[in-house]
Amino acid sequence: MTQGQTVASYASLQQLAAELRLDAAAYRRACEIAELHPDRAGWLRHIDRFLTALGALLIVAGITTFFAWNWADLGSLVKFALIQGGIVAAVVLAWRLGIDAMAGQAALLGAAFLVGVLLAVFGQVYQTGADPYSLFLSWAILILPWAIAGRQAGLWMLFQILVNLAIILYWTQVLYPPEGWWMLAQALGPVVWLGTTVTDSRLASSLFVMNTAALLAWEILAARGLSWMTGRWFPRLTAVGALGTVVAPTIIVIFAAVFESRTGLRFLSPLLFTAALAACFYYYQYRKLDLFILTCCLTGAILVVMSLLIRYMPKDFGSLLLLAVALIVQVAAAAFWLRELSRRWEAEP
């Protein structure tokens, strides 16, 4: 929020309407002036962006499915020619439309996805035997120039995901290969396996540092006035990922510290979690209001507090009732605090 500006919201407008005794027509007109109700052009713009992004993703999914279905019937040269032709066509389309236009951004993002398809096909055709982590790392390196030139959050989010996957795979395939129940987690599917990676506090702490660095870089550059970084979905998703890599290990330490008894870092995640909460509560409360990230922080704090209560309270019916009351009180207090914080920011000039 900058000096000399007042944030218009439904709450402040309703209070003003009550004081001025505005009728329904005047209130609707006030909402239009304050741009609280999107007009027809606004709705069409958002729908156009959504359909453009959805179309680009469906095209990439269709190309991937095409290769999966017709793999045995296609020659190597045909496979590479089709994918590389698609990449070149997408890049040319992005250049012609302009990388600042929605269609151009979608075309460039589609080209970045096709780079991953090209690397996967290359590994399958020539049976390189490379570790999977090298695929994601190479993919991230190849699209990095496009992410820098493209100036869009979608490319940076793809880059961020690829770097996370490369770190996880390198850790679990090269540094510390899985054993025991981790091998079972791999057999149960990628979602279960990715969830179990945070049980290693060393890996989880590494992911936390990397995602936090990306979040800090984004917030610093956005504060310096880069227009394409004013959107909030990238920092919010990155903050969720960073918090998840310290909340889950902290809960595991509370319930079963034996999982990390083999390392000297089992208490690192709780320390990082505490530091992250303190930093987020300060910055997103006093410097840049973001109720979504604050809500995520409060959710993580509630989960940790409830885990402590469950771990150390007596195991009887009375404790179950106290746990329910504690949860209700924490959720109600968090909602009340967030509402008062929003009102305070709206009232400040």
> 142 pLDDT band (50/70/90 cuts)?
very high
Q: Per residue in 296-306, pLDDT tens?
A: 999 999 999 99
Q: Per residue in 13-37, pLDDT tens?
A: 556 666 666 666 666 666 666 555 5
> 128 pLDDT band (50/70/90 cuts)?
low
| Cα–Cα distance, 236 to 241 (Å, whole number) | 9
**Lowest mean pLDDT, pick from 188-202, 217-231, 256-270, 279-293:** 256-270
- The full set of domain ranges for the chain reads 1-37, 53-177, 189-349
> 7 pLDDT band (50/70/90 cuts)?
very low
> 233 pLDDT band (50/70/90 cuts)?
confident
**Lowest mean pLDDT, pick from 5-9, 309-313, 314-318:** 5-9
**Residue 332 pLDDT:** 94
pLDDT above 60: residue 112: yes
Total-model pTM:
0.77
**Residue 261 pLDDT:** 46
pLDDT above 60: residue 57: yes
- CA dist list (Å): 31 to 5, 19, 46, 112, 345: 17, 16, 19, 40, 19
**Residue 179 pLDDT:** 63
The identity of residue 143, as a single letter, is I
Q: Residues near 170 by Cβ (< 8 Å), separated by ≥ 6?
A: 131, 133, 137
> 3 pLDDT band (50/70/90 cuts)?
very low
**Residue 146 pLDDT:** 92
